[in-house]
Amino acid sequence: MKFNWRVLVTLLLVVFGIAATYNLLTRGKVNTTVTSTGGLPDYVLSDFELVALDATGQEAFTVRAPSLVRDELDQHLDLKTPVFRIPPSAKGGYAVWDVISETAWVGSDNQEIRLRGKVVANTKTRDGKLLKVSTEQLNVFPEKQLAVAPVLATVNQPGLTITGQNGLEAEMQTQRVTFRTMRAHYNGR
């Protein structure tokens, strides 16, 4: 039996043609997850740590998360299970805040962070006591050092629990918390 090169070349061309057709049909079909503004992601990060800077080049916040998607239209970030570390303001202050949530949205200018789902924010007071804020929604403005919870929020300190029925506003550096309406429980410790 004689080997026929024409059959081999024809088979190779058919395989190459199928591969090229598949490549053309699937090209550009990466993750087409639709973000909240309807745009496609221009990049996706997995298991990362990001240090975001403010307009002056100072650290606005650091975030670690298993997933980040940036919207190509307005360039906001969508994160899953993020862990934020918000440092003291360059204008003064001493408190570092550690904040976790189920999801987060970060504006393209890093001026606003919207945390949603089981939000817990921890810091220490000047005398070293733990201050903990728990809520379902928390909007953080790193440059202003302001955190606003528009829904039910609870503040815990050793011996004291305060619940803001209609949310709260916290000045992050002074740790001054303002409630619209509240209920407090003091156990004397």
77 inside domain: yes
Domain of residue 67, residue span: 34-186
132 inside domain: yes
7 inside domain: no
26 inside domain: no
pLDDT of residue 17: 75
| pTM over 0.85, yes/no | no
Which band of pLDDT confidence, cut at 50, 70 and 90, is reported for residue 147? very high
The number of distinct structural domains making up the chain is 1
2 inside domain: no
CATH code of the domain covering residue 172: 2.60.450.10
> Whole-angstrom Cα distance, residue 41 to residue 31?
8
149 inside domain: yes
**Highest mean pLDDT range out of 1-5, 11-15, 158-162, 185-189?**
158-162
82 inside domain: yes
Q: What is the pLDDT of residues 5-60, one digit of tens each?
A: 777 677 777 777 777 777 666 665 444 333 344 567 888 999 999 998 887 888 88
Q: What is the pLDDT of residues 71-83, one digit of tens each?
A: 988 889 999 999 9
Evaluate whether 121 touches 104 at the Cβ level (below 8 Å). no
